[in-house]
Amino acid sequence: MTAAESGAWRRCSSCKREIAFAATYWVCSVSTCNRKRTGLSFCSTSCWDAHLPLMNHREAWAEERRAPTREAFRREQAAAGAPPPARPAPVPGRPSPLPAAQPAPRPAAPPRPPASELDEEILVVVSKLKAYVRERSGMSTSDAVAARLSAELRRWCDRAIQSARRDGRRTVMERDF
């Protein structure tokens, strides 16, 4: 179901409540929170305030906005999905005033190691771990500690990933731990 059909324009980025069409909502004044991909919107100033500790803004304020009407939102969606304007047909014997459209090369994603490699990798910097234990207690650290600690970190990360998914986010944050 699309937003136009559900009766809500968007959901609050903090509490996930619906923001109705033509309702007042708030956005963060910081540009990184207002990018098209990020697009944070909040149903109240208290929800806006809740995102501040996570974002570490130096100076920010909530800006009041009005959500579009259902009809205006549908027009925006239709315009966004419209095909780009057609290029003029080339005239034979005359060079084209526009360069030929070339698809942008797709950056290659780094190869992901198989799950078995990820399950065996050490996730901590062993030298720093050993230095910490030695400084705090004067004791040595067994090499087996790094593997055990990595296994615990994997369990923590798996729980944090599930928490982020439940909240509808694609970013694991400190609050997920």
pLDDT per residue as tens digits for the range 86-113:
455 555 665 555 555 555 565 565 566 5
Strand, helix or coil at 72?
Answer: helix
Cα gap 42→34, rounded to integer Å: 12
Domain count, the chain: 2
Residue 88 inside a domain? The answer is no
Check whether residue 71 and residue 12 sit in a common domain. yes
Q: Are strands 18-20 and 62-66 parallel, antiparallel or unpaired?
A: unpaired
Please report the pLDDT score of residue 136 as a whole number. Answer: 93
Give the whole-number percent of the chain exceeding pLDDT 90: 16
Domain that holds residue 49: 3-81
Residue 46 inside a domain? The answer is yes
Q: Does pLDDT of 151 surpass 60?
A: yes
Residue with tokens 């910490």: 132
Question: Which token pair is 3?
Answer: 């937003």
Residue 65 inside a domain? The answer is yes
* Mean per-residue pLDDT over the chain, rounded: 79
Cα gap 59→33, rounded to integer Å: 13
Check whether residue 71 and residue 19 sit in a common domain. yes
Please report the pLDDT score of residue 85 as a whole number. Answer: 45
Question: Which token pair is 149?
Answer: 């600690």
Check whether residue 11 and residue 62 sit in a common domain. yes
Residue of 78 and 82 predicted with greater confidence = 78
Check whether residue 124 and residue 60 sit in a common domain. no
Q: Does pLDDT of 139 surpass 90?
A: yes
**Residue 45 confidence class, pLDDT cut points 50, 70, 90:** confident
Check whether residue 121 and residue 166 sit in a common domain. yes
Radius of gyration of the chain (CA): 25
**Residue 150 confidence class, pLDDT cut points 50, 70, 90:** confident
Residue 101 inside a domain? The answer is no
Last residue of a domain, one of 28, 57, 81: 81
Please report the pLDDT score of residue 143 as a whole number. Answer: 83
Residue 148 inside a domain? The answer is yes
Residue 72 inside a domain? The answer is yes
Q: Does pLDDT of 84 surpass 70?
A: no
Check whether residue 12 and residue 74 sit in a common domain. yes
This prediction's pTM: 0.42
CB atoms within 10 A of CB 37: 4
Residue 13 inside a domain? The answer is yes
Check whether residue 72 and residue 128 sit in a common domain. no
Residue of 3 and 72 predicted with greater confidence = 72
Cα gap 61→45, rounded to integer Å: 9
Kindly give the interhelix angle for 126-137 and 144-166, rounded to the nearest 10 degrees.
110
Check whether residue 67 and residue 130 sit in a common domain. no
Residue 104 inside a domain? The answer is no
Alpha helices in the chain (DSSP H): 3-6, 45-55, 70-81, 115-120, 126-137, 144-166
Check whether residue 74 and residue 8 sit in a common domain. yes
